[in-house]
Amino acid sequence: MLEQSYYDRADEIIANHGNMQKSLIPVIQDIQSYYRYLPAELLSYVAAKLDINEAKAYSVATFYENFSFEEKGKYVIRVCDGTACHVRKSSLILGKLYKELGLSKEKHTTDDMMFTLETVSCLGACGLAPVLTVNEEVHPAMTPEKVAALLEELRGELK
């Protein structure tokens, strides 16, 4: 059960976009942007508020890869493993992140909710390969050494 503040925030977001069915995607985008994930219970609430069948709302949210029903850490790190990045050894960068953060293909978020690690097919920055993003900030020409320095810098921001 979510706290009342989640529903209050959803009501504010709905008010900003209008209480119309066509507002579903912008509303759930804003909710995910605010919470770094889309709480399933909140999606049901939004569907009811916008007079949308709950199954239709879920089909929209699951169709788009960008929506996530899993909580994410403060820092969401996305590593590109598309062709340009892969041939420039993005797997070494991913391996370094797995090791440094204690994560795996099955476990994506650190226990302290500080880091979430995702692999993506493309970040649209092939000329900067290998590349990763941290909360949408692009980090080009990454190496395992640069990964260690980046994590140290991010951990320093937490203090």
Residue-wise pLDDT tens digits, 64-82: 878 999 999 999 999 999 9
Count the alpha carbons within 13 Å of 8 in the hemisphere toward its beta carbon: 3
CB burial string 88-100: b at 16+ within 10 A, e below:
bebeebbebbeeb
Tokens of 115: 């880091």
Over residues 39-70, the pLDDT tens digits come to 999 999 999 999 999 999 999 999 987 899 99
**Which amino acid is residue 32, in one-letter code?**
Q
* Helix (H), strand (E) at residue 26: helix 24-35
Residue pointed to by tokens 């650190």: 110
The reply to whether the predicted model has a pTM over 0.75 is: yes
